[in-house]
Amino acid sequence: MTRPRDRWTELTGGDAGEGYAERFARLAASGQDIHGEANFCAALLTAPARVLDAGCGTGRIAIRLAELGHHCTGVDIDPSMLAVARRDAPAQEWLHGDLTHLDTLGLEPGFDLVLAAGNVIPLLAPGTEPTVVRQLAAMLRPGGLLVTGMGLDAAHLPLPEPTVTLPDFDHWCTQAGLTLRHRYATWSGDPYQQGGGYAVSVHARPAT
């Protein structure tokens, strides 16, 4: 039986790295703050913390968190994205791999924070979402945090319709032993309202 491809690869063909990097370079050059996700995570941490950026893309967030004093590892399935990350921050750890099989990449569990931003969860291969959430949770230390950001409607996704609902996502987190701590509508911390099109969620692994 052939495993379904992740939605990101279906959308991009696996060669979006340079274009993705150029897009954020233009935003930065125009004066826009491109570090919202990193600043959000940094506010939850005390440096130096261990951070796993799952679905790290071109490394924009992990590189910024490293600049803020944290030890960051990035994992992505797209070699073109990782090529940019490795070029921009060759001293950081960048791993090529499928989040469904995160436990095969040789990572030492015990991360203070695991991040899945940039619609990582909605763009997974169909049916793999609970497995990936379980893999991400297993990387956390007791008391560690899983931080996710995801679109919940077509306006906030590069897809014609949503692939994940918050009740489903929270259920997968509960199955993985995580508890919802906070939920926001933006990386700036605006309150989430029921029915909103984007959610930033903070789930925690029990401290003991």
Beta bridge partners of 185: none
Looking at the domain assignment, is residue 199 inside a domain? yes
Instruction: Return the half-sphere exposure (C-beta side, CA atoms, 13 A cut-off) of residue 155.
Output: 5
Query: Looking at the 3D structure of the chain, how many domains does it have?
Result: 1
Looking at the domain assignment, is residue 1 inside a domain? no
CB atoms within 10 A of CB 85: 23
Distance of CA 14 to the CA centre of its chain: 17
23: its two tokens: 């897009």
77: domain CATH number? 3.40.50.150
**Model's pTM, two decimal places?**
0.93
Looking at the domain assignment, is residue 18 inside a domain? no
pLDDT tens sequence across 48-99: 999 999 999 999 999 999 999 999 999 999 999 999 999 999 999 999 999 9
Instruction: Return the half-sphere exposure (C-beta side, CA atoms, 13 A cut-off) of residue 33.
Output: 8
Q: Are 144 and 205 in contact (CB under 8 A)?
A: yes
The residue range of the domain holding 102 is 34-204
Looking at the domain assignment, is residue 14 inside a domain? no
Looking at the domain assignment, is residue 114 inside a domain? yes
Looking at the domain assignment, is residue 117 inside a domain? yes
Looking at the domain assignment, is residue 81 inside a domain? yes
pLDDT tens sequence across 129-165: 999 999 999 999 999 999 999 999 999 999 999 999 9
CB atoms within 10 A of CB 92: 19
Nearest C-alpha neighbor of 148 from the set 82, 55, 79: 55
**Cα–Cα distance measured from residue 141 to residue 47, given in angstroms and rounded to the nearest whole number:** 16
Looking at the domain assignment, is residue 102 inside a domain? yes
